[in-house]
Amino acid sequence: MGISGYSRTELMACVAARELRDDEVVFVGIGLPSLACNLARLTHAPGLVLIYESGAIGAVPERLPVSIGDPALVTDSLMVCSMADVFQCFLQNGRIQVGFLGGAQIDRYGNINSTVIGAYSHPRIRLPGSGGAAEIAVHAQRTLIVSALSPRIFPETVDFITSPGQRCHGRSRRELGMPGAGPVRIITDRGILQPDPESGEMVLMALYPGVEVAEVRAGVGWPLQSAATLGTVEPPGPEELRLLREVLDPQKFFLKG
């Protein structure tokens, strides 16, 4: 934690939470996205519906879920359904407004690799693979990518496209027939990127307090463009920090660093 009184991870969780509107339906992942969704639920979006790919709909976890199939997601949820229903009746049906994604590599167009570093047939590092990410990237009405910056994580081109972004191997989402809008924000630890409406390339749209453009550029493996006017980001408020630290992740399971 810096001089500012909050950590960059805490700010990322707040920024992600603020992207969610009340009554939206969110496909939640574990870790920071889960923190962000529960923070939004406890602040400006009490009607947010949290859906986990495990089949828990309208979850209200009493403890921090450490896996996407945590029993705390079931107890007191609105509905538990089969995974066939999750993917067919909720996701493919178009009912999911927001999906959270992350990965080992994120490229210039918001394509994500969570499959493999190196060649698929001879991987240097074998990652877990898609899980539900590929279809969330296709079907969620919009997705939010959350990741700290580093040139290793943000190469110009990913080794493997697990989850499609705004442009895949030269073809746009529209050409490829994808229903959702794809990644509309990349929430990093220094600022926020968003796709250029024409090219689909990720450009800097806002800086966190105290961060210079050069710091963001240094964390990205392509010549990062900036929006005409850069937005600013409000630091976490005291209530946001209290909820994150005292209610949502008191053991700093995900808020470490």
Catalytic residue set? 53
Task: Give whichever of 49 and 192 is closer to another protein, judged by the CB atom.
Answer: 49
The minimum distance between CB 245 and another protein, in angstroms, equals: 20
Q: Which stretch binds another protein (CB under 8 A): 4-12, 134-142, 149-157, 219-227?
A: 134-142
Contact call for residue 83 and another protein (CB under 8 A)? yes
DSSP 30: S
Task: Give whichever of 2 and 62 is closer to another protein, judged by the CB atom.
Answer: 62
The minimum distance between CB 123 and another protein, in angstroms, equals: 6
Task: Give whichever of 5 and 129 is closer to another protein, judged by the CB atom.
Answer: 129
Contact call for residue 232 and another protein (CB under 8 A)? no
Distance CA 124, CA 67 (A): 26
Location of structure tokens 């529960």? 38
Q: Is 243 helix (H, G, I), strand (E, B) or coil?
A: helix
Element (H, E) at 5: none
Task: Give whichever of 55 and 191 is closer to another protein, judged by the CB atom.
Answer: 55
Determine the Cα angle at 19 with ends 206 and 69, to 5°.
125
The minimum distance between CB 21 and another protein, in angstroms, equals: 13
Binding letters toward another protein, positions 1-40, x by CB under 8 A:
----------------------x-x----xx---------
Among 1, 5, 44, 76, binds another protein (CB under 8 A): 76
The minimum distance between CB 206 and another protein, in angstroms, equals: 27
Among 162, 189, 220, 249, binds another protein (CB under 8 A): 162
Q: Are 94 and 23 in contact (CB under 8 A)?
A: no
Strand 56-57, strand 98-101: pairing: unpaired
Among 4, 21, 42, 69, binds another protein (CB under 8 A): 69
Among 49, 146, 187, 255, binds another protein (CB under 8 A): 49
The structure tokens listed for 26 are 């969110």
Q: Which stretch binds another protein (CB under 8 A): 88-96, 100-108, 191-199, 241-249?
A: 88-96
254 Cβ contact partners less than 8 Å away, ≥ 6 residues apart: 9, 31, 32, 34, 35, 64
Count, residues near another protein per rule CB under 8 A = 76
Which string of b and e fits 56-77 if b means at least 16 CB within 10 Å?
bbebebeebbeebebebbeeeb
Burial of 138: CB neighbours in 10 Å, binned 0-12, 13-18, 19+ = buried
